[in-house]
Amino acid sequence: MPQLYIKDANGNFVEATEADCRPAHIICPPLTDNLVTDTDSYKWSFEEQFPDGMSSMYQYFEARGGEFHSTQAVGLQGFLKKRLVNPVTKAMVDEAEKLAMGHGEPFYRHGWDTIVDDYKGFCPITIRAVPEGSVFPTSNALFDVELTEPDPRIFWLPTHIETAIVRNWYSNAVGTTSIFCKKVILDALKQSSDDPMGEIMFKLHDFGSRGVSSEESARIGGAAHLANFLGTDTVEALRYLLHYYGCKGDMPGFSIPASEHSTRCAWGKDGEFAGYKKLVKKFLYDRKLPPGVPKIAACVSDTYDVFNAVENGWCGPELHEYVRDSGGKLVVRPDSGNPVEVLLKLLAIFDRKIGMRKNNKGYKVLPPYFGLIQGDGCNYDSIQEILHEVMAHGYSASNLAFGMGGGLLQLVNRDTSKYAYKASAGLLNGEWIDLFKDPITDPGKKSKRGHLALIQDGFGGPIRTVKGPRMDDMLKPVFRNGKLLKDYTLDEVRENATKAVLSL
């Protein structure tokens, strides 16, 4: 049984006695981060596996391929600020040594003591990376890691941190999914909307917080999505971005009041439309907002019969006039059924009952006080299908917004873009040697050799990873010896992302 703790009169944690072990008194301190233990067990045995004379290593991170032809680089700064700007302590090393020895692994204490004593606990490594928010073709180095100065006592440090730093795949995979969805939606808006750039930032809303594996996943994945859009219900992503990035106005993302099925079921089937009217009154009439901030609310409407809800509820004389005269916007959310079939039928009902206008592109648009959001079954493929069919029937993409949950934050993995972190150079007996793998059974896993550089051929030419160093290298130092060298704001990340989506 783990040791339990209580707070004494001075607010310090002390071991609980048997008499203290009552639920009202028990406090479990949070599990702290430890870079020494945040690794794979076998890496503790690495120091003895390399040839004698090794004094430095160089490693790189790339997306080798996968579902998309390019990948968005986002989220590295959060990792650096959370893990690498904070020093390794003796207590961390003590904990790791105890774990390793009991776990069946050797532990190179002298190396970690070197980091604590000689380097004040800060990892003496240099990390170079591409600009956050930017997008690059797969099979290119996105960041690299190297011991800042050769030191035979800790040459293995760049590979020890692989386990922790390679998790950057998650933010990259979410960002990549998000920005490719943005590309699809933006293309549809360019074809069918009068103001595509004015609409795009709120067209994909993050519904994924409850569907991820952990609070940390919600923070990191939700933050990656907000590099590309402004809409989210993942509150932890807001905290993460404000803590590790910051932004103008101190608000990374926005949401609106919305119903769920519990708030609809409480009215019963006979009171369904009365419940709708109260929602409109509270959020489109009574709610006080700063000047210029639109009043918008969303209402899930498939609790019983979504078609009846729109036909006789939202488009019925009483509710229609009530919404129209509110000065706000009511967004109807279907939440079941085949998305294409349901949306087309609902759009047809709106068109027949209250009418639509044609915009300058010749597509039908709902009155400004109504909209639709599809939040069920959305992913990269289904969004394309929905937009294609809706526009094929003459309706503008302006009528729709999308919500993604698991498809955005959870249904990604390291193979979404085949992310990998590999050693490509080592300093052996004072000379750099190439380190690489080239398995005969899988040519796709062939790794790069030597020090690398990311370059672009000419203005707007292809981007390639080549042997470095190069003066035109796009990889720039972002971290060295415990200090952040480049501190991105969310605004800078979004600026890079906007440039990227326009060139995809």
At residue 17, the pLDDT reads 67
- The whole-angstrom separation of Cα 331 and Cα 349 is 15
Element (H, E) at 341: helix 339-353
Give the integer Cα–Cα distance in Å for 219 and 215: 6
Secondary structure of residue 413 in the 3-state scheme: coil
Paired with 126 in beta bridges are 146, 480
Q: Name the DSSP letter for residue 53.
A: T
Contact 169, 86 (CB under 8 A): no
Asked if pLDDT for residue 21 goes beyond 60, the answer is no
Residue 185, burial from CB neighbour count under 10 angstroms (0-12, 13-18, 19+): buried
In angstroms, the CA 17 to CA 76 distance is 43
Identify the band that residue 26 occupies on the pLDDT scale cut at 50, 70 and 90.
Answer: low
Query: Does the pLDDT at position 1 exceed 50?
Result: no
Residues 6+ apart with CB under 8 A from 66: 138, 415, 416, 417, 418
pTM of this prediction? Answer: 0.93
DSSP letter (8 states) at residue 146? E
Residue 350, CB half-sphere, CA atoms under 13 Å: how many?
24
Do residues 406 and 208 lie in contact, with contact meaning Cβ atoms separated by under 8 Å?
Answer: yes
Mean pLDDT of 341-362: 98
Per cent of the chain over pLDDT 70 is 95
The residue ranking higher by pLDDT, 22 or 433, is: 433
At residue 462, does pLDDT exceed 60?
yes
CA atoms within 13 A of residue 48's CA, in its CB half-sphere: 9
pLDDT of residue 24: 53
pLDDT at residue number 18: 61
CATH topology of domain 43-165+422-503: nicotinate phosphoribosyltransferase (3.20.140)
Cα three-residue angle 177-180-184, rounded to 5 degrees: 135
* CA-to-CA separations, 130 to 20, 119, 140, 471, in angstroms, rounded: 53, 27, 10, 15
Q: What is the mean pLDDT of residues 459-478?
A: 95
Report the alpha-carbon distance of residue 343 to residue 341 in Å, rounded.
Answer: 6
**Model confidence at 2: pLDDT above 60:** no
Measured between alpha carbons, how far is 499 from 48 in angstroms, rounded to an integer?
47
Report residue 16's pLDDT band, with 50, 70 and 90 as the boundaries. low
pLDDT for 154-178, tens place per residue?
Answer: 999 999 999 999 999 999 999 999 9
If DSSP codes are grouped into helix, strand and coil, which group holds residue 6?
strand
Least Cα distance to 372 among 394, 339, 408, 405 occurs for 339
How far apart CA 388 and CA 219 sit, in angstroms, is 32
Q: How far apart are CA 411 and CA 178, in angstroms?
A: 12
**In which residue are the tokens 């596996």 written?**
49
CA 241 – CA 229 distance, rounded (Å) = 13
Average pLDDT over residues 81-88: 96
Distance separating alpha carbons of residues 450 and 472, to the nearest angstrom: 17
Q: Read off the amino acid at residue 76.
A: L
Can you point out the beta strands (E) in 243-368? 296-300, 329-333, 357-358, 364-365
Q: Where are the domains of the chain?
A: 1-30, 43-165+422-503
